[in-house]
């Protein structure tokens, strides 16, 4: 069965065509910097690697570009769109409606739309991907895999906000949790690696969006992102935890509109707001040259992660392993070092030499005397989505 995975972010689309159940990757690629005149399209198959810079205005054009790459008569991998049996769409917010992988119909699309205000950077882009795929790959089954689904096991005491009950009972205001596909994938690999079914794990996903999850017996029991993918850790452009009184102060006293504050907290804050750079590689490079705002931003970022680790050790009543994953978690040895520094009380000890090694597979970067394992596990949301789509259809 050929399954195409479409993983749309705010300004990018990752895609992958796999044959299941062999999990053989037929091709993979990405459209980056959507909305810019210099969008980057990449395509990689067994025989070809293409990288192209062109103007891609929006996600619709991004999907058209992906289709053209797949069907390219010389370097493509498909003769016809009918060779795709199913499309797995990553959908960020599924509210409390969707705790399972779901076949998409009009009702499902309407509900995804309904949740758009809760994930404004993602759900609208996910919907465009779905609608375009329905048109272009009209013989394929369209399936949604929700980022929120893995966190359906978080107990009420952890996901309910301390505001009047009606908001939880009647209006769906609660913590939902995100990056579930990634946290599920890496935690399953860790469980297998540790050979311990009831492992106590803390999974740290550090990409453009960043989140941290406490996992017990394979189930998410707490998560740093809340009602929307904005709470918790310091991210590329999102502030993470912030005292809500600041929002009222910005509006009532400083004269910002609510839309401006929303834009500020989602798109102009985080590492970008602190340093002027969004990409951690730039921030690390500036910090190494002595840029003080970059040095402080890295420290703030790591300090926030440390606080959540402490909280989740308390929630789990112990810890077997910490997992670092996603672009920053997998690649930034500096961020791992800053996070794991001075954690002796918890018996968390990093091995600096192991931490500096690079690898595309799971690796242990703790020292031998560390009671807690520190694992770097490359995430593979596309493979996890493909598995879930295949399971649903078979
Ligand atoms: P997304 O959340 O969009 O899927 P990724 O998981 O691809 O994002 O992570 C993107 C982040 O990873 C960027 O901030 C980028 O700077 C960071 N990153 C990628 N490679 C490195 C590296 N070698 N060192 C430090 N940061 C890196």
CB 336 within 8 A of CB 374: yes
| Domains identified in the chain and CATH numbers | 2-146 (3.30.420.40), 195-376 (3.30.420.40)
Q: Is residue 243 a known part of a binding site?
A: no
Per DSSP, helices labelled H in the chain are: 59-71, 106-114, 123-136, 156-159, 165-169, 180-194, 244-252, 258-267, 270-275, 280-288, 292-316, 326-331, 333-340, 352-356, 381-393
CB atoms closer than 10 angstroms to residue 299: 12
Ligand 1 atom nearest to CA at 279: 16
Question: The pTM is what?
Answer: 0.92
| Separation between Cα atoms, residue 301 and residue 287, nearest integer Å | 13
Q: Is residue 175 a known part of a binding site?
A: no
* Residue 359, pLDDT score: 86
| Cis? peptide before 21, omega within 30° of 0 | yes
CA of 376 to the centre of ligand 1 (A): 14
The residue whose CA has the least distance to atom 13 of ligand 1 is: 279
* Residue 36, pLDDT score: 86
Give the residue, out of 7, 207, 211, 357, with the most ligand 1 atoms within 8 A of its beta carbon, to mutate for a pocket test.
207
CA of 244 to the centre of ligand 1 (A): 28
The residue whose CA has the least distance to atom 21 of ligand 1 is: 331
Tokens 């797949």 belong to 70
CA of 330 to the centre of ligand 1 (A): 8
Ligand 1 atom nearest to CA at 381: 4
pLDDT > 90 in the chain, percent = 93
What are 304's two structure tokens?
């926030």
* Residue 10, pLDDT score: 78
* Residue 33, pLDDT score: 87
The residue whose CA has the least distance to atom 4 of ligand 1 is: 207
CB 52 within 8 A of CB 44: no
Rg (CA), the chain: 21
The residue whose CA has the least distance to atom 27 of ligand 1 is: 328
Ligand 1 atom nearest to CA at 12: 3
3-state helix, strand, coil in the chain (%, to 5): 40, 20, 35
CA of 159 to the centre of ligand 1 (A): 28
Strands 200-206 and 321-325: parallel
Which residues of the chain fall below pLDDT 70? none
* Residue 357, pLDDT score: 93
If you average pLDDT over every residue of the chain, what do you get? Answer: 96
Residues near 66 by beta carbon (within 8 Å), at least 6 away in sequence: 6, 13, 15, 29, 31, 41
Tokens 């479409």 belong to 6
* Residue whose C-alpha is closest to residue 88's, from 72, 104, 99: 104
Tokens 């490359």 belong to 378
Residue 206 bridge partners (DSSP) = 210
Q: Is residue 110 a known part of a binding site?
A: no
The whole-angstrom distance between residue 228's C-alpha and the CA centroid of its chain comes to 13
* Residue 118, pLDDT score: 84
| Separation between Cα atoms, residue 98 and residue 108, nearest integer Å | 9
Ligand 1 atom nearest to CA at 236: 14
Q: Cβ < 6 Å from ligand 1: which residues?
A: 9, 207-209, 236, 279-281, 284, 326-328, 331-332
| Distance, first Cα to last Cα, the chain | 10
Phi (first) and psi of residue 133, to 5 degrees: -65, -35
* Residue 241, pLDDT score: 98
The string of pLDDT tens digits covering residues 327-386 is 999 999 999 999 999 999 999 999 999 999 988 899 999 999 999 999 999 999 999 999
CA of 207 to the centre of ligand 1 (A): 5
The widest CA-to-CA distance across the chain, in whole angstroms, is: 61
- Our CA angle for 8, 392, 196, nearest 5°, is 90
Residues marked active site are found at: 147
């Amino acid at each position: 069965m050929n399954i195409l995975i479409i993983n749309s972010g705010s300004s990018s689309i990752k895609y992958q065509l796999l044959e299941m159940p062999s999990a053989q990757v037929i091709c993979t690629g990405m459209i980056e910097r959507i909305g810019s005149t210099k969008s980057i399209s990449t395509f990689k198959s067994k025989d070809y690697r293409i990288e192209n810079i062109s103007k891609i205005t929006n996600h619709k054009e991004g999907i058209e570009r992906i289709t053209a790459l797949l069907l390219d008569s010389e370097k493509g991998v498909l003769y016809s769109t009918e060779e795709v049996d199913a499309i797995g769409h990553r959908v960020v917010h599924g509210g409390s409606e969707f705790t399972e992988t779901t076949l998409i119909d009009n009702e499902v699309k309407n509900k995804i739309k309904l949740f758009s205000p809760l994930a404004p950077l993602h759900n609208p882009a996910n919907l465009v991907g779905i609608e375009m795929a329905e048109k272009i790959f009209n013989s394929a089954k369209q399936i949604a895999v929700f980022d929120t689904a893995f966190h359906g096991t978080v107990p009420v005491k952890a996901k309910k906000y301390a505001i009047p009950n009606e908001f939880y009972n009647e209006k769906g205001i609660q913590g939902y949790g995100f990056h579930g596909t990634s946290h599920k994938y890496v935690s399953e690999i860790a469980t297998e690696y540790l050979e311990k079914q009831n492992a106590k794990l803390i999974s740290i996903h550090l990409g453009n969006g960043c989140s941290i999850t406490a996992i017990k017996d394979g189930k998410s029991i707490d998560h740093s992102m809340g009602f929307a993918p904005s709470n918790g850790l310091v991210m590329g452009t999102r502030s993470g935890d912030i005292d809500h009184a600041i929002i009222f102060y910005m509006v009532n006293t400083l004269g910002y509109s609510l839309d401006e504050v929303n834009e500020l907290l989602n798109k102009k804050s985080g590492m970008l707001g602190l340093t002027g750079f969004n990409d951690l590689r730039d921030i690390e490079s500036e910090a190494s040259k002595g840029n003080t705002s970059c040095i402080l931003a890295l420290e703030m970022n790591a300090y926030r992660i440390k606080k959540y680790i402490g909280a989740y050790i308390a929630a789990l009543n112990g810890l077997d392993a910490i997992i670092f994953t996603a672009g920053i978690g997998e690649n930034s040895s500096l961020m791992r070092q800053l996070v794991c520094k001075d954690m002796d009380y918890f018996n968390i000890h990093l091995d600096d030499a192991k931490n500096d090694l690079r690898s595309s597979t799971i690796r242990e970067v703790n020292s031998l005397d560390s009671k807690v394992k520190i694992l770097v596990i490359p995430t593979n949301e596309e493979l996890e989505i493909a598995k879930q789509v295949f399971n649903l259809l078979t």
